[in-house]
């Protein structure tokens, strides 16, 4: 099962979502990147993310986090580098009981990049986490155009471009709120 849900949220919305999710399920967030070791604990809350509500690249695939229940073991993928060193990666292929979370956020003040959640797995645990996120997003936001979700905070924004892919894509791919 592959599932994805897209949303537009600002920092306040993400913090609100965090409170809803983290009261229901005890999860850890591990940033997807290369690590020098496997003793990384990750974040216990979305509110602990550095630069929450910001997107530094202008791309919806910017930074992502594996979301997994704290009771589960994290499986690392060990990759040998050209210099014979090793780097360690955490991903869904090695952690089927997880989902991936891209928080989205503002790129400059006038571009809001969409966030999204997704899973490639069909385990009970990944479904549970996905549904928890999905319900919290739907509690905060309303649906528009079949799959995009908007909070009252986002609806109130003026002169903000809502970007579904990246800032270099044509405006036709943006979302308009009227």
Total domains present in the chain: 1
Residue 143 domain-assigned? yes
- Give bridge partners of residue 12 from the DSSP assignment: none
pLDDT tens digits, the chain, 178 residues: what are they? Answer: 578 899 999 999 999 999 999 999 999 999 998 898 888 878 999 999 989 999 988 888 878 999 999 999 899 999 999 999 999 999 898 999 999 999 999 999 889 999 999 999 999 999 999 999 999 999 999 887 766 777 888 888 888 888 888 888 888 888 776 5
Other beta carbons less than 10 A from residue 61's beta carbon? 11
Domain contains 73: yes
Decide if 178 is inside a domain: no
Whether 94 is covered by a domain: the verdict is yes
Residue 23, domain extent: 3-173
Q: Virtual CA dihedral for 53, 21, 152, 11, nearest 10 degrees?
A: -10
């Amino acid at each position: 099962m592959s599932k994805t849900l897209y949303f537009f949220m600002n920092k306040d919305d993400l913090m609100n979502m965090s409170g809803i999710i983290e009261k229901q399920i005890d999860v850890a967030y591990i940033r997807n990147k290369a690590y020098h070791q496997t003793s990384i604990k990750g974040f216990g809350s979305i509110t602990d993310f550095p630069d929450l509500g910001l997107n530094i690249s202008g791309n919806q695939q910017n930074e992502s986090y594996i979301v997994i229940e704290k009771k589960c073991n994290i499986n690392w993928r060990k990759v040998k580098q050209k210099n014979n060193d090793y780097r360690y990666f955490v991903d869904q292929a090695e952690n089927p009981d997880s989902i991936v979370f891209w928080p989205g956020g503002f790129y400059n003040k006038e571009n809001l990049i969409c966030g999204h959640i997704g899973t490639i797995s069909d385990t009970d645990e990944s479904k549970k986490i996905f549904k928890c996120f999905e319900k919290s997003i739907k509690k905060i936001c309303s649906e528009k155009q079949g799959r995009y979700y908007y909070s009252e905070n986002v609806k109130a924004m003026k002169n903000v471009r809502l970007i579904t892919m990246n800032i270099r894509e044509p405006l036709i791919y943006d979302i308009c709120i009227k």
